[in-house]
Amino acid sequence: MTRPPLDQLAVDRLAGVGPKSAASLASLGIASVQDLLFHLPYRYEDRTRITPIRQARIGDCIQIRGKIADADVQTGRRRSLRCLIEDDSGALCIRFYHFYPRLRNRLAPGRLIRCYGEVRHGREGMEMYHPEYHLLSGGVEADAIPEALTPVYPAVEGLPQNRIRKLMAQALELLADSQSLPELLPDRLLGDFGGVDLAESLRLLHKPPPGIELDRSGRSHDNPARRRLAFEELIANRLCMRRLKLDGSALQSPRFGGAQKLPRRFVETLPFRLTGAQRKVYREIHRDLSSPGPMMRLIQGDVGSGKTVVAALAALHAVESGFQVCLMAPTEILAEQHWHTFRRWFEPLHVQLGWLTGKTRTKARRQVLEELASGACKLLVGTHAVFQESVQYQRLGLIIVDEQQRFGVHQRLSLREKAGTGSLRPHQLVMTATPIPRTLAMSVYADLDCSVIDELPPGRSPVNTVMLANHRREGVIERIASACASGRQAYWVCTLIEESEVLQAQAAEATTEQLRQSLPDIRVGLVHGRFGAAEKAEIMEGFKQGEIGLLVATTVIEVGVDVPNASLMVIENPERLGLAQLHQLRGRVGRGATRSHCLLLYQSPLSNWSRERLRIIRECNDGFRIAEEDLRLRGPGQVLGTRQTGLMSFKVADIGLDSDLLEQVRDTCDELLQSHPAATEALIHRWLGGRSDYADV
């Protein structure tokens, strides 16, 4: 039997894929069976062991097995189904906030159940929310515990892990036919990877056999299968960046005039003087914009260093030269905030602005689209919606992307494709607050030039950062009460390692409930990723206006949010976050005149390693130094937060573990471009092809 090669076999040919799942798969960039096979786990869970309940610790992800002792539906602020599980060593509650009525009957007392989930601090002590569970019909003896690590895949709503795992099993079966997936790298170049072939490597990462050396995130330096794939992925990425750069330099871009009236007038309206660093970076941008060839520039600057003002200057330069500008932010909250800022700045200069997100209503939308097409609207602010096909610019000259860490090379690729208007390619300016050591920046942003704002505006007092164990929560709540009583405001940030937005939202809701009870005199607001845009905007506005005293949030507020009156931030379980992310979060306070504080409410006991990391955050307020210390402790892959934030969106490669490959990657790319040009296209397609969407935004 001959089968088509897997890159030509549509994924809906797999059993059980209907139009709905096909659409969910498509939103993950998966169209063919090959795409599915290259949708690799980003971590693994260990369900090969059962943990006695007595050994459960808050924050651990464990598997327990026991008898259902009790199950009931509890009411209160939120209805939930609670189920008490007992084993020989103790008892623990599992809780469901979303459930079908029949689940309650299925969880009948006396039945045996096995659950996997994170242990959390809940209403009745230690609890698991929405664990994965199996009801055992035979006895414990018949319970088939997985023998291998369980892969966890990047997922989307409507396509749960279990479904992905089942589809992957089918795809792996098709892979057994060695003809089905061509090797794209010449044999000669693959000698160093222990002779494992592509199919074997994929099989190993999707279904790691028991006993294999993989850590939780599947990284192991010595695993030839992982290294083999990482090598190919790095090659594909580099080829892609080379292509971006080549495409770019061959293109013409708008050439802006030398006049600076608007930027100058703008600077005069500002209530502060630009810092030397802001001036320096603007000069670099100005030079790019007045020379032929598209600018591709990255601005790096610590939180609060004032990147937005520099972007505004560049935008005004474009407008003055008769071009339009679009500014894209990765989240609705951030886009909304830029919209307010730029309106405040540009309206007095009579520069017309527009606003567009995925949720803009038809009428408003039509109007904005008309104004863009006619050229009346000079600056469009929004989310990724600013690049939808229906958006036609009259004369787009400059694209500004804020908080670049959320946009990997895939996004830049598609942005390029979407932004092309005729023969002129707009200039691009991307801004990021994630400080990246220079050597890394070169490999991550091989297609961008780099400017650094290495100076903070004067008068900022460093945020006083303290570490407190979780049992001192009461004291922390009192501090919030007193801060609010004296007219200031506070953030409470909930963290959760779970990738699920639902669980994150639930944790934040539970915390809000508790805080409302303990702080009856304070208006407590809540935002998380599952709120609609309008709702989010309303709450953020309430916080900005000072109507809300305490804002509980998930890490959605990590980037950009600017409320100077907020001077206190509590971060729960900071040990779970990367240092760069903590520094970002902390940057939300310390923006006004009052001395600001950041309380790191950690789960005790802390490991020595976590203590060391938090010490860095406590003692240091300089993002670049933090990044370097973090680099020393954790290696580059982690610092960049690749897996969490999708900076580079690598599936297997890890710049830290695989940096020794980079030279070989470079040479191999050169060789491929010379002698195997067809393979280069196929490689880019295989690793980056279908992912030009903005699924995560």
Could you list the residues that contact ligand ADP (CB under 6 A)?
Answer: 272-275, 278, 301, 303-309, 433, 457, 562, 591
623 is a site residue for Mg ion (CB under 5 A): no
- Residue closer to Mg ion (CB basis): 21 or 300: 300
Q: Is 429 helix (H, G, I), strand (E, B) or coil?
A: strand
Surface-to-core class of residue 139, CB atoms within 10 Å of its CB (0-12 exposed, 13-18 middle, 19+ buried)? exposed
What is the closest distance, in whole angstroms, from the C-beta atom of residue 402 to ligand ADP in the complex? 7
User: Out of ligand ADP, Mg ion, none, which partner does residue 375 contact, by CB within 5 to 8 A per kind?
Assistant: none
E strands of 270-350, at which residues?
296-301, 324-328
- Residue closer to Mg ion (CB basis): 426 or 560: 560
User: Out of Mg ion, ligand ADP, none, which partner does residue 24 contact, by CB within 5 to 8 A per kind?
Assistant: none
Spatial separation of the C-alpha atoms in residues 508 and 556, rounded to whole Å: 11
Paired with 86 in beta bridges are 67, 91
User: CA of 439: how far to CAs of 435, 454, 516, 639, 659, in Å?
Assistant: 12, 17, 47, 13, 10
With CB under 5 A as the contact rule, which of the stretches 37-45, 51-59, 235-243, 552-560 interacts with Mg ion? 552-560
User: Out of Mg ion, ligand ADP, none, which partner does residue 309 contact, by CB within 5 to 8 A per kind?
Assistant: ligand ADP
User: Out of Mg ion, ligand ADP, none, which partner does residue 182 contact, by CB within 5 to 8 A per kind?
Assistant: none
- Residue closer to Mg ion (CB basis): 382 or 560: 560
- Residue closer to Mg ion (CB basis): 354 or 560: 560
What is the closest distance, in whole angstroms, from the C-beta atom of residue 350 to ligand ADP in the complex? 21
With CB under 5 A as the contact rule, which of the stretches 122-130, 158-166, 560-568, 601-609 interacts with Mg ion? 560-568
Residue of 154, 263, 549, 560 interacting with Mg ion (CB under 5 A): 560
Q: What are phi and psi of 533, to 5 degrees?
A: -60, -45
User: CA of 415: how far to CAs of 25, 214, 438, 455, in Å?
Assistant: 21, 35, 25, 30
Spatial separation of the C-alpha atoms in residues 142 and 136, rounded to whole Å: 8
Contact 29, 690 (CB under 8 A): yes
- Residue closer to Mg ion (CB basis): 243 or 343: 343
State the virtual CA torsion across 168, 153, 233, 420 in degrees, nearest 10: 110
User: Out of Mg ion, ligand ADP, none, which partner does residue 275 contact, by CB within 5 to 8 A per kind?
Assistant: ligand ADP
What is the closest distance, in whole angstroms, from the C-beta atom of residue 517 to Mg ion in the complex? 35
User: CA of 486: how far to CAs of 43, 483, 594, 659, in Å?
Assistant: 45, 5, 11, 51
Intra-chain end-to-end CA distance of the chain, in Å: 42
Query: Looking at residue 95, what DSSP letter applies?
Result: E
- Residue closer to Mg ion (CB basis): 63 or 308: 308
Q: What share of the chain is helix, strand, coil (3-state, %, to 5)?
A: 45, 20, 35
User: Out of ligand ADP, Mg ion, none, which partner does residue 305 contact, by CB within 5 to 8 A per kind?
Assistant: ligand ADP
330 is a site residue for Mg ion (CB under 5 A): no
Surface-to-core class of residue 340, CB atoms within 10 Å of its CB (0-12 exposed, 13-18 middle, 19+ buried)? middle
Read off the tokens for 618. Answer: 């406590």
What is the closest distance, in whole angstroms, from the C-beta atom of residue 672 to ligand ADP in the complex? 39
Count of alpha carbons within 13 Å of 52, Cβ hemisphere only? 5
Read off the tokens for 14. Answer: 């797999």
User: Out of ligand ADP, Mg ion, none, which partner does residue 304 contact, by CB within 5 to 8 A per kind?
Assistant: ligand ADP
- Residue closer to Mg ion (CB basis): 122 or 560: 560
- Residue closer to Mg ion (CB basis): 168 or 463: 463
Binding to Mg ion in span 364-403, by CB under 5 A: none
- Residue closer to ligand ADP (CB basis): 226 or 307: 307
Binding mask 475-504 for Mg ion (x = CB under 5 A): ------------------------------
Spatial separation of the C-alpha atoms in residues 49 and 601, rounded to whole Å: 30
CB-closest chain residue to ligand ADP: 306
CB atoms inside a 10 Å sphere around CB 668 = 22
- Residue closer to ligand ADP (CB basis): 586 or 651: 586
User: Out of ligand ADP, Mg ion, none, which partner does residue 274 contact, by CB within 5 to 8 A per kind?
Assistant: ligand ADP
Q: Is 240 helix (H, G, I), strand (E, B) or coil?
A: helix
Residues binding Mg ion (CB under 5 A): 560
